[in-house]
Amino acid sequence: MSGDAGGAQTERPAVPIVIIMDEDAATRGATVMIDRAGDDRALGTFTTLRPGGRGRTGGPLGRRAFLGAAGALALGWAGSGWSDADYAPARRGMLDAIADTTTRTAASTGVGAIDPTVMAALDRVLRHAFVPPEIEGLAYENRPLPIGHGQTISQPYIVALMTHLLALRPHHRVLEIGTGSGYQAAVLAELVDRVHTIEIVPPLARQATERLPRLGYGNVDIRLGDGYHGWPEAAPFEAIIVTAAATHVPPPLVAQLAPGGALVIPVGEPFSVQMLLLVRKGADGEVTVRQILPVRFVPLTGGH
């Protein structure tokens, strides 16, 4: 139920950082782990770092490291009373990272910029509300994050790209396979009339069933079950999105796709690099498939 750009990121050792809220409160610092990224060099101790603000460090600090450390600060202070508005600067940073990654992958994807309506939806959805409280502060980093039960919430860039590829319109009805924490469903719900989403992991389905209405997403229907077979009684769908990797494109999903519709799905072997595919069904029912980008997703599970 989540993924990241397979060629865009690699695993790097984590680096411990001590974050201090202000120079008179060193004892309130929190030691956390930050993923080292890009061309970051020495990482040091920050002072007077707060949401939307800047920090000072005794050593060189790359832009990505600063953003990561800001996220770590939020992690260390999860539950400290931050309002949704406090996360707005981090959310804008996430949008900048999505735009940057989109530019860098354009030669492969054919997508030079994400649809502004999709970017606006991503700006409205409170991503930190869809991750466990202990990692809220990392919610707006451009990377997947664990949500429990062996599942993750997708990298924001991948959420943006897959949503963009669906070419959604307000009257559309969308089927999502792999609800996870509900984040992708919330983004879709910002853009279309109705979202049907299927989750196979019972605790995640229960959590999403509580979370989405609480956050105001009343146009999402959630079902516990095997998404391979789709939701035939609610079909056809103008768009279908699969947020777990299948070994092939499920025929039931193609059958439930409306003429003129689009299906986005990662296909490949489990726990390996897969290929993100864009499947289109023409007005005459003819199906075409286009390869988009190497990705990594957790496997699509079930009895199929």
Residue at 15 is within a domain:
no
> Closest Cα to residue 35, out of 12, 55, 57?
12
Number of compact structural domains in the chain: 1
Residue at 133 is within a domain:
yes
Task: Give average pLDDT by consecutive 10-residue segment, the chain, 304 residues.
Answer: 56 32 29 30 30 34 39 42 85 98 97 98 97 95 95 96 98 98 98 98 97 98 97 98 96 98 96 95 96 94 77
Residue at 302 is within a domain:
no
Residue at 204 is within a domain:
yes
Range of the structural domain that residue 141 is part of: 106-297
Residue at 163 is within a domain:
yes
Residue at 83 is within a domain:
no
Q: What is the pLDDT of residue 304?
A: 67
Candidates 108, 154, 181, 272; catalytic one: 154
Q: Is 154 noted as a catalytic residue in this protein?
A: yes
Residue at 200 is within a domain:
yes
Q: What is the pLDDT of residue 81?
A: 58
Is the pTM higher than 0.85? The answer reads no
Look up the CATH number of the domain holding residue 188: 3.40.50.150
Residue at 212 is within a domain:
yes
Q: What is the pLDDT of residue 47?
A: 29
